């Protein structure tokens, strides 16, 4: 059986994984992109979205591992896009253009039903209105013996953590100061939820931390 | 003029710099000592308190720099000891034995007056009831052109941060999970308070982060 996991998810020094003020120009909030500077520099990211060669090394190893053996993704509504409330039309198809990097079924948590969207490259967005457990059931069925990756955002990961449904997290502990934002851990007692730190690999730009449950 | 600074202050992955349940056996709360494992392993710490040779390297360089050019210290009441309320007698003289590592005047914030205590090795504990600014004025006068180090604990550092009175912080960003504890940054917007990250040096066990004001 595959694992349910989070990967390449950054945390600021002051505990935030997204800035405030998300909109179409600021998918991770105003100033939030700098949380992911380490990832943008990697060969893995540049091959997907960039124009440069990208760097190899520890950061790239972790970025690549986040995509390996993933059979389905789960995203929160806000990670899928800036649209709030009922879908006004079918025009919004995610932040990632015609060919998103997922290349698997992607289950988007939402309160508002919408038909699936098949994109180029193997990604299909499915919209799940039945809550986090229903989405996970569908993702596991789609993934088979591969992993389910919970892509984010913060509120989605917090819901799955609180429910004890995530097996493994790879976090990138960054020295970025945001000041305000969406706190990843505030009010969550991770050891009480069964998580312990099992890995640590600093790269020079961030420190990669592995948490596992049980 | 010297700087007002914090040094070798650890933060857990989940944002805490002390565990809960401080008492005479648990000066940093129950389980809190593991925040400082990196420091205990250093030659600097072992020369002061230990029996081993201690390790040299990045961690030791930072630990040693924390003591260099310090002319006075400020400690919160709880960092000085587990006694709460009025001093019942003169018996408590800090966690550090007859010869504390400070070797300078140390100004202890308290609501309850007490006569100074001269210890072996040059440390004198002074008890300041006039608040954080009064303590800083006295510490600066004592330090002359050397630095004032705010030793902690969490509540003391937060008060000085909020007042914009700290020039420089060296934090050790650790992968430790505490689950509960005293949060260092919760509710503080460090960029709005004038702080920015100016240094980053991962050692293999922790990442050393420098914040400076202005």
* pLDDT single digits (tens) B162-193: 999 999 999 999 999 999 999 999 999 999 99
Q: Average per-residue pLDDT in chain A?
A: 96
Residue A156: its H or E element: helix A154-162
What pLDDT does A52 receive?
Answer: 85
Q: Which two tokens stand for residue B91?
A: 């018996």
Is there a contact between B153 and B79 (Cβ–Cβ < 8 Å)? yes
Nearest Cβ partner of B192 from A179, A191, A196? A179
Nearest Cβ partner of B177 from A15, A190, A203? A190
In the DSSP assignment, the letter for residue A204 is S
* pLDDT > 90? residue A27: no
In the structure, how many helices (H) and strands (E) does chain A have?
6, 11
A49: nearest Cα among A114, A102, A124, A123? A102
Give residue A25's pLDDT band: very low, low, confident or very high (50, 70, 90): confident
CATH of region A4-21+28-83+99-213: 3.40.430.10
CA distance A187 to chain B (A): 8
Closest residue, chain A, to B192 (C-alpha): A179
Q: Where are the alpha helices (DSSP H) in chain B?
A: 37-40, 43-49, 58-65, 77-80, 132-143, 154-162
A-chain CB neighbours of B175 within 8 Å are 173, 197, 200, 207, 209
CATH of region B4-83+99-213: 3.40.430.10
Nearest Cβ partner of A197 from B177, B190, B196? B177
Mark yes or no for CB contact A177/B202 under 8 Å. no
Q: Per residue of chain B (214 residues), what is the pLDDT tens digit?
A: 899 999 999 999 999 999 999 888 888 999 999 999 999 999 999 998 878 899 999 999 999 999 999 999 999 999 999 999 999 999 999 999 999 999 999 999 999 999 999 999 999 999 999 999 999 999 999 999 999 999 999 999 999 999 999 999 999 999 999 999 999 999 999 999 999 999 999 999 999 999 999 8
Model ipTM over 0.90: yes
* pLDDT single digits (tens) A188-200: 999 999 999 999 9
What pLDDT does A149 receive?
Answer: 98
In the DSSP assignment, the letter for residue B214 is -
Q: Average per-residue pLDDT in chain B?
A: 96
Mark yes or no for CB contact B14/A197 under 8 Å. no
Please identify among residues 13-72 of chain B the ones whose CB lies closer than 8 Å to any CB of chain A.
13-15
Q: Which two tokens stand for residue B69?
A: 């050019």
A1: nearest Cα among A139, A170, A133? A139
Q: Which two tokens stand for residue B37?
A: 């494992």
Residue A78: its H or E element: helix A77-80
- CB of A186 within 8 Å of a chain B CB? The answer is yes
Mark yes or no for CB contact B177/A192 under 8 Å. no
Is there a contact between B22 and B154 (Cβ–Cβ < 8 Å)? no
- CB of B198 within 8 Å of a chain A CB? The answer is no
- CB of B194 within 8 Å of a chain A CB? The answer is no
Closest residue, chain B, to A204 (C-alpha): B202
**Spans of all domains in chain A:** 4-21+28-83+99-213
* pLDDT single digits (tens) A34-77: 999 999 999 999 998 878 899 999 999 999 999 999 999 999 99
CA distance B57 to chain A (A): 15
Residue B209, phi then psi, degrees to nearest 5: -120, 135
In the three-class reduction of DSSP (H, G, I as helix; E, B as strand; rest coil), residue A8 is classed as: strand
Q: Which two tokens stand for residue B10?
A: 């650890």
């Amino acid at each position: 059986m595959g694992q349910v996991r989070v990967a390449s998810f950054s945390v600021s020094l002051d505990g935030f994984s997204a800035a405030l003020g998300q909109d179409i120009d600021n998918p991770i909030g105003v100033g939030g992109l700098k949380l992911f500077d380490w990832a943008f520099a990697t060969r893995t990211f540049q091959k997907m979205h960039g124009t440069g060669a990208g760097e190899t090394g520890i950061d790239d190893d972790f970025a690549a591992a986040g995509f390996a053996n993933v059979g389905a993704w789960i995203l929160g509504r806000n990670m899928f896009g800036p649209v709030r409330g009922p879908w006004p039309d079918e025009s919004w198809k995610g932040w990632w253009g015609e060919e998103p990097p997922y290349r698997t079924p992607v289950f988007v948590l939402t309160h508002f039903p919408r038909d699936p969207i098949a994109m180029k490259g193997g990604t299909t967005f499915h919209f799940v209105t039945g809550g986090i457990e229903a989405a996970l059931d569908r993702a596991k069925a789609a993934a088979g013996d591969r992993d389910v990756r919970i892509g984010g955002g913060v509120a989605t990961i917090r819901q799955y953590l609180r429910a004890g449904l995530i097996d493994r997290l790879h976090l990138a502990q960054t020295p970025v100061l945001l000041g305000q934002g969406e706190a990843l851990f505030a009010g969550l007692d991770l050891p009480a939820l069964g998580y312990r730190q099992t890995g640590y690999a600093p790269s020079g730009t961030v420190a990669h931390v592995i948490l596992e449950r049980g």
